[in-house]
Amino acid sequence: MDAVAGASVSSSSARLRPCPRPRRIGNVAPATVRRRSRRRAVTCAAAADADVVGLFDAAKLTVDRFVESGMVVGLGSGPASGLAIQYLGTRLRRGSLTGILGIPSSTISASEAEKAGIQVSSYEEGTQIDFAFTDADIIEEDTMTAVIGRRKTESGEPSFMVEKGIVKSADKLAFIIGHEKYVKGIEGSIPVLVKSVWRRPSIGTAGPLGGDFPLVTKEGHHVLDVIFTTPIPDLGKVAESLEKIAGVVDHGIVSSIP
């Protein structure tokens, strides 16, 4: 058992178990990381979502534990990922890391990387990524299946296609989340990208661009939120079902990671 930045790090080749509940020190819950000993390790860095100090500890741990000099690193989106990008820039300025190439998943993460002094390149399908980190909206405990794309970014980028592409391309992946987002029985919305559709709004007018206030990605796809009012027994099966529906381009479920 290694002790890194006040967090516990465990490895197991057996079935993945839930991240242990963090032991609180004062008012701060230390981060915890759970990983699989596989070619592509999936990790869960958890901290108190409302506690910026806790999120920074988890972001710092992610960079210290998994980023090495010379890596191509996928830079995720969200508050915790922003903190990790800033800290990665600090490590580069100190000289403790060198030769890092960042692949940002959004305009915001690209801007954060440039401010942090990280060399960046755009993502293209087939890009080899050594390690990636990102926020997840929620994670299923036993399977590590995650939902991304619920957040509506300030830049007006509702598309999560690049973020998901980076996540799926990475040899190692870390989700940085608040502990309360690591749960059994996920419910709520699953964002789904579909080909352009007309919608009938409760107010306003409908039209080829989706009527009033549509969410349209830069690729021209519409974003729909599929709402589940009861816990989902198997997110992986939901993903399989969505992919069989004509007109569905992509969805926010990240599953079946080897």
Look up the pTM and report it: 0.69
- Model confidence at 49, in pLDDT bands (50, 70, 90)? very low
Contact between 63 and 81 under an 8 Å Cβ cutoff? The reply is no
pLDDT confidence tier of residue 213, bands split at 50, 70 and 90 = low
Pairing of strands 7-12, 32-36: parallel
Fold of 186-253: Alpha-Beta Plaits (3.30.70)
Element (H, E) at 62: helix 52-66
CATH architecture of the domain covering 2-183: 3-Layer(aba) Sandwich (3.40)
> Helix-strand-coil percent breakdown of the chain, rounded to 5?
25, 30, 45
Under the banding of pLDDT at 50, 70 and 90, the label for residue 2 is: very low
Query: 58-67, pLDDT tens digit by residue?
Result: 999 999 999 9
Alpha helices for 133-223 (secondary structure H): 161-169
Cα(252)–Cα(233) distance, integer angstroms: 17
Q: Please, are residues 172 and 132 in contact by the beta-carbon 8 Å criterion?
A: yes
Contact yes or no for 143/101 (Cβ under 8 A): no
Numbered ranges of CATH 3.30.70 in the chain: 186-253
pLDDT tens digits for range 95-119: 999 999 999 998 899 999 999 999 9
Domain with CATH 3.40.50.1360 in the chain: 2-183
